[in-house]
Chain A
């Protein structure tokens, strides 16, 4: 699943570690999310969307 997390994080001027701390996950988890290796749980996806003030659909794009 593609996502916009890296772009949003960089626009917010945050490091992966800082975003991880905000979301309550590790830097490795943020890195895995950004590279598409790991798809988040629904609660984490909501937390990410809420943190960036947008919706899940705006951040995550299913590869169909």
Chain B
């Protein structure tokens, strides 16, 4: 029988997912209304894929519990204290990388790089930094 803590975590997690879905649908609708139907479709596909993977991680972390992988427990909303530390340090690495990436992008723009391309590249830089730092910190701590 789930404890009240587990029930709260479950409610928070599903609330976050529903909030994410609502934001995604609104963004896609606004984008489509602005005439960018292909962008809206891509946004919906990517967003739903991410939400689907999060649900998969939730199922794994609930079914396998403490035997699941660190990333599954974190994304699935059932982290233990070390998982939280790994997540916090990886998030800090992403934050620090923003301090470097933003000025680099600005200088690149001054030297003629396309601002739209730079803006599109920044999220990918942060995703790569986040994933790599998560894996490295997970292995080292």
A residues engaging B (CB < 8 A)? 17, 20-21, 24-29, 32, 37-38, 40-41, 44
Contacts and interface: CB of A to CB of B under 8 A. Distances in A.
The 9 A-B pairs with the shortest beta carbon distances in the complex, nearest first, are: A29-B82, A25-B80, A26-B66, A38-B141, A20-B66, A26-B80, A37-B141, A41-B81, A38-B82
Contact of A40 (B66, B70, B81): B81
Contacts of A27: 66-67
Nearest to A33: B82
A25 B68 CA distance: 11
Contacts of B85: 38
Chain B interface size, as a band, is 10 to 19
B70 A26 contact: yes
A39 to B, nearest CB: 9
Contacts of B140: 37
Contacts, number: 38
A8 B73 CA distance: 27
Contact of A44 (B66, B68, B81): B81
Contacts of A38: 82, 85, 141
Nearest to A28: B70
B82 A32 contact: yes
Given A24-B66, A38-B82, A38-B141, 11 more contacts: A17-B67, A24-B80, A25-B80, A25-B81, A25-B82, A26-B68, A26-B83, A28-B138, A29-B81, A29-B83, A32-B82
B73 A26 contact: yes
A25 B66 contact: yes
Nearest to A37: B141
B79 to A, nearest CB: 9
A21 B68 CA distance: 12
A40 B65 CA distance: 20
A32 B139 CA distance: 9
